[in-house]
Amino acid sequence: MAYTPHKPPLPETTEQLRARIPYWGVDLDPADRPSVPKLQWQEDLSGAHWGETPDQQPEKQPRERSIEHAAVTPVFGTAQPLHGLSGAIRRYAYTRYSEARVGHWLLLVLGDRVEAWGAHLRSFATLRPDNPITQTGVLAEAGAHPIRSRYGVRRTDTVHQPLDPVLVAGPWVAAATVTWLGVRRLARAVRG
Amino acid sequence: MRATVYRGPYKLRVEEKDIPAIEHPNDVIVRVTLAAICGSDLHLYHGLMPDTRIGHTFGHEFIGVVDQVGPSVQNLQVGDRVMVPFNIFCGTCWFCARGLYSNCHNVNPNATAVGGIYGYSHTTGGYDGGQAEYVRVPFADVGPVRIPDWMSDEDAVLLTDAVPTGYFGAQLGEIVEGDVVVVFGAGIVGLVAARSAWLMGAGRVIVVDHLEYRLQMARTWASAETFNFVEYDDIVVEMKKTTGHLGADVAIDAVGAEADGSLLQHLTGVKFKLQGGSPIALNWAIDSVRKGGTVSVVGAYGPIPNMVKFGDALNKGLTLRMNQTPVKRQWPRLFEHVRNGHLTPSELVTHRFPLEHVVEGYHVFSAKLDGCIKPLVVPGAA
Ligand SMILES: NC(=O)c1ccc[n+]([C@@H]2O[C@H](COP(=O)([O-])OP(=O)(O)OC[C@H]3O[C@@H](n4cnc5c(N)ncnc54)[C@H](O)[C@@H]3O)[C@@H](O)[C@H]2O)c1
Ligand SMILES: [Zn+2]
Ligand SMILES: [Zn+2]
C-alpha cells in the first residue's frame, strides 16, 4: 500500500459536526483566539500605572536570587525565608550555580530533604507532632470507595500506588530502627 | 488565619498562620471565598518541585473579597469580589508589555526560567497561595479582575487556571479546519482542551487516558472519541492505525510530570525524582503526531532534565509549542464562551472539601478516587 497525497477521510463532514456540536468552529478564525499572535504589544499595560518601573518592595532580609537575574526583582515572595542548615544549602545553590546547572537543582532538592527531616524532628517537641497518617489524607479512603475506584476498572496507577506508603513510611521506619539499634548498643555498652 | 501547610512530600496539614501583610504599595490582601486543587498542586505535594519549603501554603486557583489595599492601588477597593489569575505579573516588563504574562521578569527572584505563581514553591517566587483564608496578591492593579455579576463562583475559580489552560492547549496546537487532534490526559485541562479543539474547528478529537470515568466525561462533556491506553499494547501504534498511518495533525500533552504508562519513566521521574517528572505522555504526543505536525504542551514539568524523545521531534519536523498560560490574556474571549454556554466548566467540579479537610481532598484527587475530576476547597465551611 502506497501513501497518497490525500488526507485520510474524516468520519464526519463539517455539516455533520455543526449539527452534532453546536459550538463547532466558533473560534475557527485565529483572529478570534486570544493570545494570537504570541507577542503583541499591550497598550494598556494591563492596568499598570507606574510608567515603566514599578516600586521596589523593601528587602527586610537578604533575599536569595538566581544569578541569572541582575538583582532581586521589584516584587518577591516573603514566605518561609531561608533558615538553618537547609537555608545554607539552598543559599549556596543560588549563589554558586545558575538555573542551567543540574547542581543548582540537586542542591535545592537536598535542602528540601534536610529541611523536611529537621521539621519532622522539631515537631516531636511540639504539641502537634507530624503524623504520617493524618497528614497524607489516607483517612479519606474510607469515604471514597477505595475498592470500587481501583479494582474491576482498567487503570494502571494501581501498580505503583502501593509504593506511596512505602516511600512515606520507609524513612520513618528506617529512622526508628536505627535509633532502636543505637539505643540497644548504647545500653549494652553501659552495662559492659 | 487557617491555612494549608506543606510538611514534606505527601504530607500537608491545616494550621494557624498570621494573616499576610501588605509588602509593596500595589499589594492587596484577599479574603479567599473559594479555591481549587490543581493537577499542578499534585506535583508539589509529591515533592517534585525543588525548593518547596516546609510551611509553604499551596493554592494558585482562588477567588475572594478584597480585604486590605496597598497605598498605590487604584483599580480595586475593599469589598470587591475578585478572581485572581494564577500568574503574578507586573504589566510593564519586556514580557508583560508583549502579553507574556506568565513569563513576567519582575516577580520571581528565584528563577528566570519561570514567572511568578501563587503557592507554587520558591522556584516560582516564594509566594504563599490561596488554599487558606487570606492571601497576599501583588500587582493588584494588574492581575485580578472584579467577578462579573452573571458569573458563578465555581466558573470564576475555574477560570483562574484550569479553563484558560485547557483552551490555551488547543490554541497552541494552531488547529485549522478538519485537523485530527489527540489530547493526552482527561483531567480538567485535557477535557477543556478537547472541547476547545471543536471550537477551533477540529475534524476529529480523540482523548487518551486510563481512567474510565474521565474518558466517559470526554465522550459526553467534550463530545470526543476516547482510547483507554491500558487496553492497547502500544497506544502510539493505535494512534497511527486510526489516522491512516500518518499520525494526528495536532497532539496535546495535558498530563505533565506524573504521567503513567511507563513504569520506568514513572519510577525515575515521580517516585525517585531523578528527572523532572515522567515525560511519557509527551513522548507519546511526539510519536503520535504526523510529521510536520504540532505538539502543544501544557502539562507541567520540573526543572530537572527529562528523558524526552527529542530526536524524533527533530526528525519529524515538529512544531513544539508550550507555556504556562497567560490567564488574563485569555479572559475576554473565555468569559464570552462561558456566558453563552460554549464552555460549561462548573460541570466538571466533582468534590468540595472544607479547608479543614483539604488534606483528604489532596489524597482523593491524587489517588483518583471516588470519580474525582476537580476538587474545590471552601474556606470557612465546617
Ligand atoms: N501550563 C499551565 O499553565 C498549566 C496550568 C494548569 C495545569 N497544568 C498542568 O496540566 C496537567 C493536567 O492538569 P489537571 O489538573 O488536568 O491534572 P489531573 O491530574 O486531573 O489530570 C491528569 C490526567 O492525565 C492522565 N494520564 C496519566 N498518564 C497519562 C498518559 N500517559 N497518557 C494519557 N493520560 C494520562 C491521568 O489519568 C489524569 O486523568 C498537569 O501537569 C498540570 O500541572 C499546566
Ligand atoms: Zn494550576
Ligand atoms: Zn512583567
DSSP string for A124-148? TTSSS---TTTTTTGGGGGGS-HHH
Is B328 part of the contact surface with chain A (CB cutoff 8 Å)? yes
Domain co-membership, B316 together with B343? no
Residue B55: CB atoms within 10 A of its CB come to 15
Residue at which a domain ends, from B322, B351, B369: B322
Residue B272: CB atoms within 10 A of its CB come to 11
Q: Please, which pLDDT band fits residue A169 given cuts at 50, 70 and 90?
A: confident
Ligand 1 pocket test: pick from B40, B167, B366 the residue with the most ligand atoms within 8 Å of its Cβ: B40
pLDDT average, residue stretch A31-45: 94
Domain co-membership, B278 together with B349? no
Is this structure's pTM higher than 0.90?
Answer: yes
Residue A84 has pLDDT above 70, yes or no: yes
Cell of A51: 510608567
Domain co-membership, B231 together with B370? no
Residues with Cβ < 8 Å from B334, sequence gap 6 or more? A34, B159, B163, B164, B167, B343
Q: Best of A76, A85, A161 to disrupt the B interface by mutation (most B CBs within 10 Å)?
A: A76
pLDDT of residue A171: 79
Residue A192 has pLDDT above 80, yes or no: no
The larger pLDDT score, comparing residue B301 to residue B381, is at B301
Rg of chain A (C-alpha set): 28
Domain co-membership, B150 together with B176? no
pLDDT of residue A165: 86
Domain co-membership, B294 together with B200? yes
Domain co-membership, B58 together with B136? yes
Cα–Cα nearest to B332, from B177, B132, B159? B159
Residue B33 DSSP label: E
Q: Is residue A149 part of a domain?
A: yes
Q: Is residue A172 part of a domain?
A: yes
DSSP, residue by residue, B103-115: G-SSS-TT-SSS-
Q: How many domains does chain B have?
A: 2
Among A50, A136, A140, the residue with its CB nearest the CB of B10 is: A136
Residue A167 has pLDDT above 90, yes or no: no
Ligand 1 pocket test: pick from B167, B172, B209 the residue with the most ligand atoms within 8 Å of its Cβ: B209
Q: Is residue A163 part of a domain?
A: yes
Taking every pair of Cα atoms in chain A, the longest distance, rounded to a whole number of angstroms, is: 91
Among A21, A64, A102, the residue with its CB nearest the CB of B198 is: A21
Domain co-membership, B179 together with B93? no
ipTM of the complex: 0.96
Backbone torsions φ then ψ of B351, nearest 5 degrees: -140, 145
**Rounded Cα distance, B46 and A184, in Å:** 35
pLDDT of residue A178: 87
Q: Please, which pLDDT band fits residue A87 given cuts at 50, 70 and 90?
A: very high
Q: Please, which pLDDT band fits residue B378 given cuts at 50, 70 and 90?
A: very high
Residue A29: CB atoms within 10 A of its CB come to 11
Domain range enclosing A148: 131-182
Domain co-membership, B334 together with B312? no
Q: 3-class DSSP state for residue B304? A: coil
pLDDT in tens, A90-142: 999 999 999 999 999 999 999 999 999 999 999 999 999 999 899 999 999 99
pLDDT in tens, A131-159: 989 999 999 999 999 999 998 888 999 88
Q: Is residue A92 part of a domain?
A: no
pLDDT of residue B317: 98
Which atom of ligand 1 is the closest one to the Cα of B366?
A: 19
pLDDT average, residue stretch B307-317: 97
How many Å lie between the centroid of ligand 1 and the Cα of residue B281?
9
pLDDT average, residue stretch A2-17: 95
Residue B70 has pLDDT above 60, yes or no: yes
pLDDT average, residue stretch B68-88: 98
% of chain B residues with pLDDT over 70: 99
Which residues of B, range 107-136, sit inside 8 Å of A by Cβ? 107-113, 116, 122-123, 125-128
Among A45, A111, A155, the residue with its CB nearest the CB of B211 is: A155
pLDDT of residue A176: 83
pLDDT of residue A81: 98
Q: What are the residue ranges of helices labelled H in chain B?
A: 39-45, 94-97, 153-158, 162-172, 188-199, 212-220, 235-241, 263-266, 280-288, 310-315, 327-339, 358-366
Residue at which a domain ends, from B322, B344, B361: B322
Q: Is residue A164 part of a domain?
A: yes
Cα–Cα nearest to B294, from B272, B321, B322, B258? B321
Ligand 1: lining residues by beta carbon, under 6 Å:
B 38-40, 42-43, 161, 165, 184-190, 208-211, 214, 229, 254-257, 259-261, 280-281, 298-300, 324-325
Residue at which a domain ends, from B300, B322, B344: B322
**Rounded Cα distance, A84 and A95, in Å:** 16
User: B85, B60 in Cβ contact below 8 A?
Assistant: no
Residue B162 has pLDDT above 80, yes or no: yes
Q: How many domains does chain A have?
A: 1
CATH code where residue B360 lies = 3.90.180.10
Domain range enclosing B33: 2-161+326-378
Cα B259 from chain centroid?
A: 15
User: B95, B104 in Cβ contact below 8 A?
Assistant: yes
Residue A10 DSSP label: P
**Rounded Cα distance, B32 and B51, in Å:** 25
Domain co-membership, B202 together with B247? yes
Is B72 part of the contact surface with chain A (CB cutoff 8 Å)? yes
Q: Is residue A109 part of a domain?
A: no
Residue B208 has pLDDT above 60, yes or no: yes
Domain co-membership, B117 together with B53? yes
Q: Is B287 exposed, middle or buried (0-12, 13-18, 19+ CB in 10 A)?
A: buried
State the amino acid at position A62 in one-letter form: P
User: B70, B28 in Cβ contact below 8 A?
Assistant: yes
Beta-strand relationship, B145-146 and B81-84: antiparallel
State the amino acid at position B36 in one-letter form: A
pLDDT of residue B80: 98
pLDDT of residue B382: 54
